[in-house]
Amino acid sequence: MSRKQREEERVRGIFARRAALLGIGQIGLLGFLAHRLYRLQVEEGERYATLADENRLSARLLAPPRGRVLDRQGLVIAGNQLNWRALLVAEHTTDVAATLETFTRIVPLSDAEKARIEREVRRRRRFVPVTVREFLTWEEMARIELNAPDLPGISVDVGTTRIYPEAEHLAHMVGYVAPPAERDLDGDPLLELPGIRVGRAGVERHHDLALRGRAGAVQLEVNAVGRVIRELDRREGVQGQDVQLSVDAELQKSIRGKIEEGTSIVLMDARNGEVLAMATQPSFDPNLFNSGVSPAQWRQWTANRATPLINKATNGLYAPGSTFKMVVALAGLEARVVTPGERINCPGHMDLGDARFHCWHRAGHGGMDMRAALKHSCDVYFYELAKRVGMDRIAAMARRFGMGVPLEIELPGARPGLVPTREWRQAQGKPWALGDTVVHGIGQGFYQLTPLSLATMTARLATGRAVQPHLTRAIGGRPVRGSRPEDWPSLGIPDAHLRLVRDAMWSVVNEQGGTARTSRLPPETGAQMSGKTGTTQVRRVSREQRERGFRVEQLPREWRPHALFVGFAPHDNPVFAVAVVVEHGTSGSGAAAPLARDVLVEAFQRLRPGPGGMLRVAEASR
């Protein structure tokens, strides 16, 4: 028994040691877990707290409504309307292609659309919704909602879309909007939202930042599958600002109704440079850009030789012809190479070396002083004057009048045009001959000027101030600089010179024998127009044709000369400046001047310059 007891004791001892070892080891391992918990919860706690917040917090952007574009009377010319659209969130579906396939059975998608959607899905982050289809009808929207269980990742929401109530009438000025392209992504998170549009042309593009506004954001708490549990924080965005333009939409529409293809008319407030109307034909409907222009439509626009997408008032380039003669006259006066009273004889042509330069009046005007030369548009007088002044001084004067230089008009892509100089010609590797100067004295030759720059020249002539043409009156209800005449510096041309030229322009319209005598304003306007006609050849008339007794009416239309007219009114206290270019209109006095008269009559009627000369306007409401 004692042996047994001894063994019992021994076994008990071994067991006690081993059990204690096991127990201590196990408690030690639990202690290790405690240490591990300390590491995770205290030492790394902050990092994990951040990760937990990243899990549960989701910021979503709120798209502010795009600002409207208004005309000077407050009429909406670019606004927003409701738009039902289907969106796809890639991370909510396992198979984007399958979802789109199911969607196609409900609302048909073309292969091109599917390709675009899949491209956008790849380009954007997986939680950013991608627009599948916009402008859903109510019925399509209902069908999508009904089939929602079979369309993982698809949701329908209501957004806004741009609408241009005046359609093509103001398209060249307002421009249009389109989904942002890769190059538009400037870091503004707003541009990543589905259905967002950026301005692509015209004022929409120039004032895009003001119109766009700033994105708001909501901070949401979401669960593991992305369902929104509650809204934690909301920061409202800044709504896009309304932009009020100086144009009058009704006047613009009415003017566009009067003109044919290839005609451009620019009507400005001569005192401050505000563009009141800028009409060209043909134009395009900017609403079509909303849903994406179809390839067929695009081909139709680009293949059309009349270039409906191009604003001929800012991008059409023409020789100014006789409308340029005022500039030559002022250059001559400033250079003191001529006095107003000096008479230059016009025998119907001028010889220079073995070249002969004809006056439009083959029989000759006889002795002409400056006023008479402008009134009758005598070419020989200005050949001689140009020869005396030289091209450099003519070009310098032209630039002071806004020709051949960039203008401040808010239309991206507007062309500055070209006033040739000797350097310019020499840069082309060609010499500048005296004959070139002579030709450029009557506005022919290498000039490439836009109707807008002709209107600018006229406005500066009428006011003596370096006004810049512009379209914006107010942004977000705040007027922009430049609406008062005092905002613009003087041209620095002596009043006497300007008065002489203006007086000559008055005689063009209002005196017996003036080239635009038939286009004077009717008495009910209570004002008189001053102006200058111009006719520019698009093909050289050969001597042979001249001798055969050539008449332009016999030419095919596209060979006939362009007709031009620039003018301002009222003569004594100019308010309006107008420039008209009628492509292939044959004669400035016959085609362009009557249009200018009609435009001014309408402008007086509609805008009614008041006692202080202020034009009718409605202040923009925010």
In whole angstroms, how close is the CB of 8 to another protein at the nearest point? Answer: 9
Pick from 498, 470, 327: which is nearest to 401 by CA?
Answer: 327
Taking the complex as a whole, the smallest distance from the CB of residue 157 to another protein amounts, in Å, to: 24
Using alpha carbons, list the distances in angstroms from residue 270 to 375, 456, 457, 484, 588.
22, 8, 10, 11, 21
**Count of alpha carbons within 13 Å of 388, Cβ hemisphere only?**
19
Shortest Å, Cβ 155 to another protein: 21
Cβ closest to another protein, residue 27 vs residue 146: 27
Nearer to another protein, 233 or 558 (CB): 233
Identify whether the C-beta of residue 580 lies closer than 8 Å to the C-beta of residue 533: no
Residue 54 C-beta: closest distance to another protein, Å: 9
- Quick one: 47 or 546, whose CB is closer to another protein? 47
Per the CB < 8 A criterion, the answer to whether 411 and 311 are in contact is yes
Closest to another protein by CB, 22 vs 97, is: 22
**Closest distance to another protein from the beta carbon of 30 (Å):** 5
Q: Select 18 or 299, whichever has its Cβ closest to another protein.
A: 18
Count of C-beta atoms within a 10 Å radius of residue 339: 10
Nearer to another protein, 92 or 393 (CB): 92
Q: How far is the CB of 194 from another protein (least distance, A)?
A: 24
Least distance (Å) between residue 76 CB and another protein: 45
d(CA 503, CA 375): 9
Nearer to another protein, 23 or 494 (CB): 23
How near is the Cβ of 193 to another protein at its closest, in Å?
25
Nearer to another protein, 44 or 150 (CB): 44
Q: How far is the CB of 69 from another protein (least distance, A)?
A: 45
Residue 213 Rama label (left phi>0; alpha psi -120 to 50; beta): left
Secondary structure element (H or E) that encloses residue 276, with its range = strand 275-280
Angstrom CA distances, 111 to 116, 117, 180, 219, 386, stand at 9, 10, 21, 36, 64
Cβ atoms of 40 and 47 within 8 Å: the answer is: no
What is the spatial distance between Cα 187 and Cα 207, in angstroms, rounded to a whole number? 18
How far, in Å, are 77, 239, 534, 581 from residue 594 at the CA level?
Answer: 29, 45, 13, 12
Q: How far is the CB of 1 from another protein (least distance, A)?
A: 12
What does 59-119 look like in DSSP terms, one character per residue? EEEEPPPPPPEE-TTS-EEEEEEEEEEEEE-GGG-S-HHHHHHHHHHHS---HHHHHHHHH
Measured between alpha carbons, how far is residue 195 from residues 117, 133, 199, 261, 289 in Å? 13, 10, 13, 35, 13
Q: Based on CB atoms, which residue is closest to another protein, 38 or 135?
A: 38
Using DSSP bridges, classify how beta strands 530-536 and 228-235 pair: parallel, antiparallel or unpaired: unpaired
CA 175 to chain centre: 5
Beta strand spans in 223-262 (E): 228-235, 243-245
Binding site for another protein (CB under 8 A): 7, 10-11, 14-16, 18-20, 22-23, 26-27, 29-30, 33-34, 36-38, 40-42, 44-49, 51-53, 55-56, 221-225, 229
**In the complex, what is the shortest distance from the CB of residue 94 to another protein, in angstroms, rounded to a whole number?**
12
In this complex, which beta carbon is closest to another protein, that of residue 33 or of residue 296?
Answer: 33
Beta strands 216-222; 228-235: pairing state = antiparallel
If the CB atoms of residues 49 and 112 are measured against another protein, the closer one turns out to be 49
Helix (H, G, I), strand (E, B) or coil at 188: coil
